[in-house]
Amino acid sequence: MCGIVGYVGNKNSVPILLDGLKKLEYRGYDSAGLAVPGNGMVEIVKEVGNLSHLEDAVSNNRINGNLGIGHTRWATHGRPTQANAHPHNDCKNKISVVHNGIIENFIELKEALIGRGHTFHSETDTEVIPHLIEECYDGDLFEAVQSAIKDLEGSFAIAVICQDNPDLIVVARKDSPLIIGIGDREYFVASDIPAVLNYTKDIFILQDCEMAKITSKGISITTFEGEEVNKDIFKVKWDDEAAEKGGYEDFMLKEIYEQPKAIRETLRDKFGKDGEIIFEEVPFGKEKACELNKVVIIACGTSYHAGLVGKQAIEQWAKVPVEVDISSEFRYSNPILNENDLVITITQSGETADTLAGVREAKNRGATVIGVTNVLGSTITREADGMIYTHAGPEIGVAATKTLVSQMAVLYVFALYLAKCRGTLSDEEIAAIACDIQKLPDQVEEILSANGKIKDVANKYANCADFLYLGRGIGLPVALEGALKLKEISYIHAEGYAAGEMKHGPIALLDEGVPVVAIATKSKVHEKILGNIQEVRARGADVIAVSTFGDKEIEKVADHTFYVTETMETLSAILAVIPLQLLAYYMAKARGCNVDQPRNLAKSVTVE
Of the residues 362, 605, 606, 607, which one makes contact with ligand F6R according to CB under 6 A:
605
- Between residues 84 and 302, which has the closer beta carbon with respect to ligand F6R? 302
CA angle 94, 95, 97 (to 5 degrees): 145
Give per-residue burial for 493-525: e unless 16+ CB within 10 Å, then b.
Answer: ebbbbbbbebeeebbebbeeebbbbbbbbbbeb
According to CB under 6 A, which residues from 349 to 388 bind ligand F6R? 349, 352, 355
- Between residues 87 and 350, which has the closer beta carbon with respect to ligand F6R? 350
3-state secondary structure 298-340: EECHHHHHHHHHHHHHHHHHHCCCEEEEEHHHHCCCCCCCCCC
Q: Which of 254, 402, 589, 603 is catalytic?
A: 603
Q: How far is the CB of 27 from ligand F6R (least distance, A)?
A: 11
Between CA 604 and CA 351 the distance in angstroms is: 6
- Between residues 148 and 300, which has the closer beta carbon with respect to ligand F6R? 300
Half-sphere exposure of 423 (CA within 13 A, CB side): 5
Contacts 24+ apart (CB under 8 A), 586-591: 586/454, 586/455, 586/458, 586/459, 586/462, 587/458, 587/461, 587/462, 587/486, 587/490, 587/492, 588/486, 588/489, 588/490, 589/249, 589/458, 590/458, 590/459, 590/462, 591/462, 591/463, 591/490, 591/491, 591/492
Rule CB under 6 A: say whether 347 interacts with ligand F6R.
yes
Active site residue 11: no
According to CB under 6 A, which residues from 100 to 119 bind ligand F6R? none
Sole window of 80-88, 347-355, 449-457, 506-514 interacting with ligand F6R (rule: CB under 6 A): 347-355
CB 106 within 8 A of CB 150: no
According to CB under 6 A, which residues from 474 to 503 bind ligand F6R? 484, 488
How many other C-beta atoms can be found within 10 angstroms of the C-beta atom of residue 383? 20
Q: How far is the CB of 318 from ligand F6R (least distance, A)?
A: 23
How many other C-beta atoms can be found within 10 angstroms of the C-beta atom of residue 428? 8
Q: How far is the CB of 384 from ligand F6R (least distance, A)?
A: 13
Q: How far is the CB of 301 from ligand F6R (least distance, A)?
A: 2
Q: How far is the CB of 347 from ligand F6R (least distance, A)?
A: 3
Of the residues 266, 390, 443, 604, which one makes contact with ligand F6R according to CB under 6 A:
604
- Between residues 13 and 352, which has the closer beta carbon with respect to ligand F6R? 352
By C-alpha distance, which of 89, 94, 77 is closest to 33?
89
Between CA 597 and CA 29 the distance in angstroms is: 8
**x/- site string to ligand F6R, residues 284 to 313, per CB under 6 A?**
----------------xxxx----------
- Between residues 146 and 348, which has the closer beta carbon with respect to ligand F6R? 348
- Between residues 304 and 317, which has the closer beta carbon with respect to ligand F6R? 304
Burial class (CB in 10 A: 0-12, 13-18, 19+), 238: middle
- Cα 521 to chain center, whole Å? 28
Rule CB under 6 A: say whether 399 interacts with ligand F6R.
yes
Rule CB under 6 A: say whether 400 interacts with ligand F6R.
yes
According to CB under 6 A, which residues from 56 to 95 bind ligand F6R? none
Q: How far is the CB of 282 from ligand F6R (least distance, A)?
A: 19
By C-alpha distance, which of 39, 25, 183, 175 is closest to 103?
175
Active site residue 213: no
Q: How far is the CB of 362 from ligand F6R (least distance, A)?
A: 15
Q: How far is the CB of 546 from ligand F6R (least distance, A)?
A: 18
Residue nearest to ligand F6R (CB): 301
Sole window of 223-231, 336-344, 348-356, 572-580 interacting with ligand F6R (rule: CB under 6 A): 348-356
Q: Which helix (H) or strand (E) holds 210?
A: strand 210-215
Chain residues binding ligand F6R by CB under 6 A are 300-303, 347-349, 352, 355, 399-400, 484, 488, 604-605
Residue positions annotated with a catalytic role = 2, 603
